[in-house]
Amino acid sequence: MAALAGLRSLTRLCGVALFLSQLYVLSGRAGSLMTTKHSQPQSTFAQSLTSASTNTPYFKAAESTEIPSYVTKCPSNGLCSRLPPDCMTCNTNYSCIYGKPATFDCKVKPHVHCVDENNHEQENFTINMTCQFCWQLPTTDYVCTNSTSCMTVSCPRQRYNATCTVRDHIHCLGNRVFPKMLYCNWTGGYKWSTALALSITLGGFGADRFYLGQWREGLGKLFSFGGLGIWTLIDVLLIGVGYVGPADGSLYI
């Protein structure tokens, strides 16, 4: 009887243990389900915030309002055909006949405003020009750099490398800035009339040579009294024909 009672007690304990283990398993599943249900909306909300912040921003970026540098060269509301070349883009036809009139289709650049002959704003227009490259233009149509290191009075006449730029209102083919070999033609500010007057009046004292910067010749004329008048007469002739010039090699003005 005692053994039977012990067996029953052990069976009850096993049943209680099985019941507790099943209850623990069920409580763990319920907790995991609750965690999943609560965390899913949160992740969805976070995802929606992320996508909204990266793909569809609330405010658009401000458009660029920077004005190009060429606009300062372009007169506002002027004739389109009179605009400088920097203010337009043209369909250049290099197959035109040299020296003959040519017509090119052009369009104004952004931020440039111009009108036609009837004061109507336009973007597309045509320009008329002579078919020639920029370096073939007359010397009055471009501006070149000057050199103050070459001698203008020399034989043969010296040249120097200059950089030339076409004037704004002139249209031509090719590069508007080009190199060119030019004759030395700079001036130091010496006047031919002043040199000749000094040679006639005070040439015996070397004033003409001093004025032109030729100090050694001036001292020679001064202490020789103009070479007893012979040197004075010769200098009058040489300065008069322009053979004797400033010592720095520049031209008279």
Determine the 3-state secondary structure of 100 from DSSP. Answer: coil
Residue 25 forms part of a structural domain: no
Residue 58 forms part of a structural domain: no
Residue appearing with tokens 């290099």: 94
Together in a domain, 124 and 82: yes
Residue 32 forms part of a structural domain: no
Residue type, 74: C
Together in a domain, 173 and 211: no
Do 242 and 192 form a contact (C-beta atoms < 8 A)? yes
Mean pLDDT by groups of 10 residues along the chain of 253 residues? 59 64 56 45 43 42 65 83 87 86 90 87 89 92 86 76 91 92 83 92 92 91 89 92 84 81
Together in a domain, 91 and 126: yes
Residue 179 forms part of a structural domain: yes
Q: Where in the sequence is the domain holding 115, given as residue range(s)?
A: 71-131
Residue 251 forms part of a structural domain: no
Residue 221 forms part of a structural domain: yes
Together in a domain, 110 and 150: no
d(CA 128, CA 149): 40
Residue type, 219: L
d(CA 26, CA 20): 10
Residue 118 forms part of a structural domain: yes
In this structure, what token pair is assigned to residue 243?
Answer: 């053979």
The pTM of the full predicted model, rounded to 2 decimals, is 0.53
- What confidence score (pLDDT) does residue 39 get? 45
- Backbone angles phi and psi of 237, in degrees to 5: -70, -45
Helix axes 192-202, 230-240, angle to 10 degrees: 160
Together in a domain, 124 and 146: no
- What confidence score (pLDDT) does residue 184 get? 83
Residue 103 forms part of a structural domain: yes
Do 227 and 208 form a contact (C-beta atoms < 8 A)? no
Domain count, the chain: 3
Determine the 3-state secondary structure of 168 from DSSP. Answer: coil
- What confidence score (pLDDT) does residue 30 get? 45
- What confidence score (pLDDT) does residue 52 get? 40
Task: Tell how far CA 173 is from the center of its chain.
Answer: 20
Together in a domain, 207 and 237: yes
In this structure, what token pair is assigned to residue 37?
Answer: 């249900």
